[in-house]
Amino acid sequence: MIWTYLNEKLAEAFAAAGYGEVPAVAERSRRPDVGQFQCNTAMTLAKAARQAPVAIANQVAGKLEFPFDRVSVAGPGFINFSLADEFLASETGAFLHDPRHGCPAVEPLRLMLDFGGPNVAKRMHVGHIRSSIIGDSLQRCCRFLGHDVVSDVHLGDWGLPMGMLVAEIRRRWPELPYFTPGGPDGPVDDGITVDLLNKLYPEASGRCKADPAALEEAKQATTALQTGDPGLRALWRRMVDVSVEAVRADLGLMGVSFDLWEGESDVRDRLDGMIERLTASGVAERSEGALVVPVGRDDDAEPVPPLMLMKGDGSVTYGTTDVATIEHRVEKYAPDTIWYVVDQRQRLHFVQVFRAAEAAGVVEAGRPVLEHLGFGTMNGPDGKPFKTRSGEVMSLRSLLEMTIDEARKRLGEIALAADITDAERETIATRIGLAAIKFADLRNHRQSDYVFDLAQFSSFEGKTGPYLCYSIVRSRSILAKAAAAGFAGGGLVAPRSDEERDVCLRLLDFGRAVLATYERRAPNALCEHAFELAQSFNAFYHAHHILSEEDAARRASMLSLTRIVCDQLVLALGILGIEAPERM
């Protein structure tokens, strides 16, 4: 990778100048007029070396040879330099035959990603979009780097909410065979859909809050379900199936997929044994009638309450199933690390769960490493979590359709190819709409909140997904026209202008951007790279008339550069979970 190479060469120059092993660092120059890069290490070394930094810089600059070019020293000790055109040409041209574009693979880990988090009987809503988009991008990034990734949607499909729904359905339709001894013999024409369940759940929840008798009925239904009543298990299975079908459709529209579709119910059979074991070992203790695991520490900046394993009424909590899920994952998948991509407002919950898992011996010797990758909220203009104008939480499907519809309108404002069919237009609108919402989310650091601005996100100008898609389409158009005219890239890149050099330098940043996305668990690093590359390419496009260039060798070089840009943008956006249209 170019940055590693430059740092090694700089370190060699410091050693050759007599300063021993120095962790020299190259960075992009703040003064492009004097060089493409700069190194400030002479100033950090000056005190220990007891020399003026400018003297150190001059000695080191004298040791810098090829591929360094235009080496100079400025100010109190900045070493400025550029890279020789031959070196840029060689490094960039290699990407024509390197599908990784210089990005190294890493030592592989078995890595589990828990994201999405939909609940049975509820439509996915805007609150699920950030987890789905960020989690999918991270799983794509980790796979690209060579990790063995297992992703799990982790359904909310167990506990009292299921009992509430069972009791509500029985109250309304007691004649259904789910409520007869032994349950149904086969499939039931029950009219149950996810939309019906989505309507029933708030009504059932409200009834239980207002009526103690209804709450008791829901608790009894929960107990019967969890102890294996065949009819209620069949009804529960039906609710899970229709819910998963809807979730798959919503996530499928977004291009988000999972390896596992496990849920809280997958650990139901290990809960009693785990609780008994933790109680017998003294990890869990009684507190005011409940069973808890103390997880507070003396050095906590703020108090961390105990994790409640079992309430006074004998019911378990989300924390209980989360600890059991870690145990299940360790035994079945043996991960080196587990990442939870969940709203950062759940930070305290994960502190409790992770510490309880450690206390229970589920996590031993720091393995697996458990990380909560919290994220901020997508807000409306009022600065509060985004809702519809009527104040309701918008469904994920409605948000996606609204964004695609806006993209459809924007396409009407630009000149599309004359032979684009209606079906292709819809495909283009869908890809542009998804690019708009995904890039708008990922370009922010995951911990930052941001305001949903559909008009801005959907623009073909500025730092947006549509702008990046249009840049890819532009590069594809150039290459298609070149092929039709019998022109071809020569397989070589020979930069002659500042615009071409800048494109080459941006291309060489790809590996660092991917690694930064992984190391920071934050895709905004790759978003920034893709946008800067697109900007650089468009500046190059406007400065040079590629197809009308009469010098065949020069034209071939520019076409090769265009091919590399196109491939890298497609690669970068693919890691972000964005697919550009083939044309517009």
Q: Is the pLDDT of residue 266 over 70?
A: yes
Helix (H, G, I), strand (E, B) or coil at 413: coil
* Amino acid of residue 138: L
Confidence band of 56 (pLDDT split at 50, 70, 90): very high
Question: CB-based burial of residue 252 (10 Å sphere; 0-12 exposed, 13-18 middle, 19+ buried)?
Answer: exposed
CA angle 577, 122, 249 (to 5 degrees): 40
Name the percent of the chain lying above pLDDT 90.
86
Burial degree of 226 (CB within 10 A; 0-12, 13-18, 19+): buried
Residues ≥6 apart with Cβ < 8 Å to 445: 522, 524
139 within 8 A of 151, measured Cβ to Cβ = yes
The answer to whether 22 and 15 have CB atoms below 8 angstroms apart is yes
Look at residue 47 in the predicted model and tell me its pLDDT.
84
Query: CB neighbours of 290 closer than 8 A, spacing ≥ 6?
Result: 308, 309, 310, 311, 312
Look at residue 488 in the predicted model and tell me its pLDDT. Answer: 79
Distance CA 502, CA 220 (A): 68
Structural tokens at position 398: 């409605």
* String of DSSP letters for 229-270: -HHHHHHHHHHHHHHHHHHHHHHHHHT---SB--BGGGGGGG
Q: What is the tens place of the pLDDT at every residue in 155-189? A: 999 889 999 999 999 999 999 999 999 999 888 99
Do you find a cis peptide bond into 381, omega within 30 degrees of 0?
A: no
Q: Which pLDDT tens digit goes with each residue over 452-485?
A: 999 999 999 999 999 999 999 999 999 999 999 9
Q: Using one digit for the tens of pLDDT, what is the confidence trace for 356-406?
A: 999 999 999 889 999 999 999 999 888 888 877 666 788 999 999 999 999
Give Dmax over CA atoms of the chain in angstroms. Answer: 92
Residue 386 CA to residue 163 CA, distance in Å, equals 30
Phi, psi of 469 (to 5 degrees): -60, -40
Q: Please check the confidence at residue 33 and state whether its pLDDT lies above 90.
A: no
Closest CA to 476 of 535, 559, 354, 371: 559
- Look at residue 389 in the predicted model and tell me its pLDDT: 67
Q: How many angstroms from the chain centroid is the CA of residue 251?
A: 14
Over residues 6-24, mean pLDDT: 93
Cβ-contact 581, 469 below 8 angstroms: yes
Q: How far apart are CA 192 and CA 215, in angstroms?
A: 22
How crowded is residue 580: how many other Cβ atoms within 10 Å of its Cβ? 25
- What sign does the CA torsion over 22, 26, 31, 36 have? positive
Give pLDDT tens digits for 269-316.
999 999 999 999 999 999 989 999 999 999 999 999 999 999 887 888
Spatial strand order in the sheet of 290-293: 285-287, 290-293, 307-310
Spatial separation of the C-alpha atoms in residues 511 and 321, rounded to whole Å: 39
The model's pLDDT over 500-510, given as tens digits with 9 standing for 90+, comes to 999 999 999 99
Q: How far apart are the first and last CA of the chain?
A: 34
Q: At what angle do helices 524-543 and 498-507 cross, to 10 degrees?
A: 160
Domains of the chain: 2-83 (3.30.1360.70), 159-257 (no CATH)
Cα dihedral: 405, 411, 413, 417 (round 10): -160
Contact (Cβ atoms closer than 8 angstroms) between residue 91 and residue 133: no
Record the pTM. 0.93
Q: Output the pLDDT for position 390.
A: 65
Q: Residue length, the chain?
A: 584
Sign, CA torsion 203/209/211/216: positive
Res 30 pLDDT > 90: no
Q: Which residue has the tokens 């893709």?
A: 530
Q: Are strands 369-372 and 337-340 parallel, antiparallel or unpaired?
A: parallel
Average pLDDT, the chain: 94
Mean pLDDT computed over 193-212? 95
Pairing state between β 337-340 and 307-310: unpaired
Give, in order, the Cα–Cα distances in Å from 122 to each of 127, 155, 243: 12, 11, 7
Handedness of CA 27, 32, 35, 39 (dihedral sign): negative
Pairing of strands 290-293, 307-310: antiparallel
**Closest to 521 measured CA to CA, from 103, 141, 106:** 141
**Distance in angstroms (rounded) separating the CA atoms of residues 332 and 355:** 21
Of 56-70, 151-165, 253-267, 384-398, the poorest mean pLDDT is in: 384-398
The Cα–Cα gap between 176 and 168 comes to: 12
pLDDT at 293: 97
Render pLDDT for 516-541 as a digit per residue (tens, 0 to 9): 999 999 999 999 999 999 999 999 99
Q: How far apart are CA 122 and CA 202, in angstroms?
A: 10
Whole-angstrom Cα distance, residue 465 to residue 441?
10
Per-residue pLDDT at 544: 96
% of the chain with per-residue pLDDT over 70: 99
